[in-house]
Amino acid sequence: MIYFDLFFVFFKIGLFTFGGGLAMIPLIQQEVIRNGWLTQDELIDFIAISESTPGPLAVNVSTFVGTQVAGITGGLCSTFGVVLPSFIIILLVAGMYDRFRKSNIVKGALVSLKGVVVGLIASAVISTAGMIFSESIASQGYAEVVIGAGMLVVFLYVLYKKVNPIIVIIASAVIGIIVKSLI
């Protein structure tokens, strides 16, 4: 049943997500895209919307996928699934968090896991860039790739200057409309 599948998949994703919503992307790519619930484009679009709406990215993306796949009930299942592991583990740890924090086992695992997060996000960056630019090549050729790359550099600079990400996203939407109508 799709509802149980959604819950189970997002429970797994919630259980294995370290380091925030973006580290979740390769997990979602493998679990969700592999199930045919979503395409790569749609995932990136969901992330864009989730970055622009309030609430944690990880939860928003989960809700979005669940709702797209199976309506409001699907959204409830995926959201509940992704939140539940956090909730349970925190309650388990809360009673002994001082011991938990000082535990060598936890420290050891974290040194490794923080490395994994870097690798996973790097992988998400490469696959996203690949998707965006290969699509450009297929539809409009290299001109669009060059312009897109230029936009990317501008956005990076603007973000580095601490402009609010939401403003950047909205500006990019407007720029997208303008640029595409000129190409």
Partner 1 sequence: MSEIIQLFSTFFKIGAFTFGGGYAMIPLIEREVVEKNKYLTSNDISDIIAIAEATPGPIAINVATFTGYRIAGVKGAIASTLGVVIPSFVIIVLISLLFKKYMNNQIIENAFWGVRISVLALMIKALLNIYKQCPKKALSYIVAVVAFVAVGLFNISALIIIAVAAVVGIVYQQIAGKI
The least distance separating partner 1 from the CB of residue 1, rounded to whole angstroms, comes to: 20
12 near partner 1, rule: CB under 8 A: yes
- Pairwise CA distance, residues 160 & 156, whole Å: 6
- Of the candidates 4, 8, 90, 141, which one interacts with partner 1 according to CB under 8 A? 90
- Pairwise CA distance, residues 120 & 32, whole Å: 16
Name which of 97, 89, 179, 102 is nearest 143 in CA terms: 179
Name which of 45, 38, 122, 24 is nearest 10 in CA terms: 24
Element (H, E) at 7: helix 2-16
6 near partner 1, rule: CB under 8 A: no
- Of the candidates 4, 8, 39, 108, which one interacts with partner 1 according to CB under 8 A? 108
33 near partner 1, rule: CB under 8 A: no
Task: Please give the residues from 120 up to 149 whose contact with partner 1 meets the rule CB under 8 A.
Answer: 120-129, 132, 148
Task: Please give the residues from 52 up to 71 whose contact with partner 1 meets the rule CB under 8 A.
Answer: 52-60, 63-64, 67-68
